[in-house]
Amino acid sequence: MSVCVALTDIDWTLTRDVVAIIGTIGALAIGLAGLGTWRRQLHGTSKYEVARRAILLAYEMRDAIQAVRSPILQLRREEIDAGRRIEEEQRIYDERMQRLYEKWSQLRTIILETKAIWGEKAEAQFRALQGLVGTMRAEIWLHFWLKGAYAAPGATVDNTPERVAKNRKVIYWTSDDDEFSQKIDAAIHPVEIFFQRKMR
């Protein structure tokens, strides 16, 4: 009989409130732990995506540089007949370089994101690739200068065979193993190595 009396003496309203408070606190703790895990996962996923995009855009830059170097030029017949062959070639290279600059602009956005996440070291991985864009711009200008495009009438242009051959090694793609193609691959390699590690 004493057991029944003890159970009836319990304040069930107070007990129910205490259990409800403990349950609420427990649910909040579990919710906060889950939220923290979700945030870490989301943060890791966004870093993974930035690293993946950095590598992908570096590959697209390689393709854009090689597209500029394509030896195939589809010149418009009417321009050639009108004696504007050099101007027509310049138009084609301008269009190709514009596509390269657009791709570089996309990559530059990712470079800034990588710098914000991983610092200066991440940005440094792209310097060789940026240098190749500058090299292409300079060598295309030289290519047309060697053809006399920028020379004043009567001026002589130093277009020795050695100088022309050196310029053509950059301007014209001959194979994936040509000298400039190897430089492109060497410029992309640090990007691959650095960001593949960030994807693990």
Q: Whole-number mean pLDDT of the chain?
A: 87
Q: Which amino acid is at 58?
A: A
> End-to-end distance of the chain based on CA atoms, in angstroms?
67
Q: Residue 46 is which amino acid?
A: S
Higher pLDDT, 45 or 79: 79
Indicate whether 192 pLDDT > 70: yes
Please tell me the distance from the alpha carbon of residue 41 to that of residue 23, in angstroms, as a whole number. 27
Q: Quick check: 68 and 97 in contact, CB under 8 A? A: yes
Mean pLDDT within 135-161: 89
Residue 168, pLDDT > 70, answer yes
67 or 75, greater pLDDT: 67
Question: pLDDT for 88-121, tens place per residue?
Answer: 999 999 999 999 999 999 999 999 999 999 999 9
Write down the pTM of the prediction: 0.76
